[in-house]
Structure 1
Amino acid sequence: MKDIKELREHVKDLKVLFVDDEEMVRNGTGIFLRKFFDNVTICCDGEDGLNTFKESKDIDIVITDVVMPKMDGITMIRKIKEINPDIFTIFITASREVEDEQDQLSNIAIKKPISFEDIIMIMETVGKLK
């Protein structure tokens, strides 16, 4: 594993869209993500996330919950990938099962809650692509 400061320096300019319907998860994870990424936008459901993505087409990473009202994460990512098929996507879910479609649409799947180790793994993976 690389030094955390070196990893952060390498990925800090990437723009992250984080989508989750649970306010406590949004707040806590948002604070956590901002320690590593300088530009984090947070949305409360898939519909809001899709609209935000369409408005700011320079997003590099989408991290989303799977089960949400209005539009679930899988549907949101499917629509986002119609706009940008190469977008780096991460599903977070409380479920232990990973659906086939969820697995096909995401680069990484993480179980809630997001941990420090998960963030390191994300930064290492994204850092290799950058």
Structure 2
Amino acid sequence: MNDIKELREHVKDLKVLFVDDEEMVRDGTGIFLRKFFDNVIICCDGEDGLKTFKESQDFDIVITDVVMPKMDGITMIKNIKKINPDIFTIFITASRELEDAQDRLSNITIKKPISFDDIIMIMQTVGTLK
């Protein structure tokens, strides 16, 4: 599945939770994600992301920043994995160093800013899970 339209058709119904504390990143990445996934919910920090996940546990993918106020992405994902250990998780980070916990908890780790190629890689990876 290399054709972008075919990839989009295959993954468009997946529900994505995107969490980032930076408004510009949320807005830009949200627009970008919605070009490929029909159902993208956006939260501004780990507490909001965890609350949203608990309220609607039918997410297929959680994409989160690592460093955020109130609750960081690692803590949020640890709590989400207690609810659904099989949830597909993606960390996005500006940090050059990856923490061990981050590696163990995520299916994919992407360096900020998220790119078109990153989205294609995500679609190819989650497309194999469907």
Fold shared by both chains (TM-score > 0.5): yes
Question: Smaller-chain TM-score range?
Answer: over 0.9
Q: Structure 1 residue 23: deviation in Å? A: 0.2
Q: TM-score, normalised by structure 2?
A: 0.99
| Structure 1 residues 61-80: aligned runs within 5 Å | 61-80=61-80
Percent identity, aligned pairs only, is: 88
Structure 2 match to 1:8 = 8
Amino acid at match of 2:26: R
Structure 2 match to 1:125 = 125
C-alpha RMSD of matched pairs (Å): 0.6
- 2: distance between equivalents of 1:125 and 1:80? 20
- 1: distance between equivalents of 2:84 and 2:50? 12
Q: TM-score, normalised by structure 1?
A: 0.99
Q: Structure 1 residue 96: deviation in Å? A: 1.3
| Structure 1 residues 1-130: aligned runs within 5 Å | 2-130=2-130
- Classify the secondary structure of the residue corresponding to 2:113: coil
Amino acid at match of 1:124: Q
Q: Structure 1 residue 98: deviation in Å? A: 1.1
Q: Structure 1 residue 42: deviation in Å? A: 0.1
> Which stretches of structure 1, 4 residues or longer, exceed 6 Å deviation after superposition?
none
- Classify the secondary structure of the residue corresponding to 1:91: strand
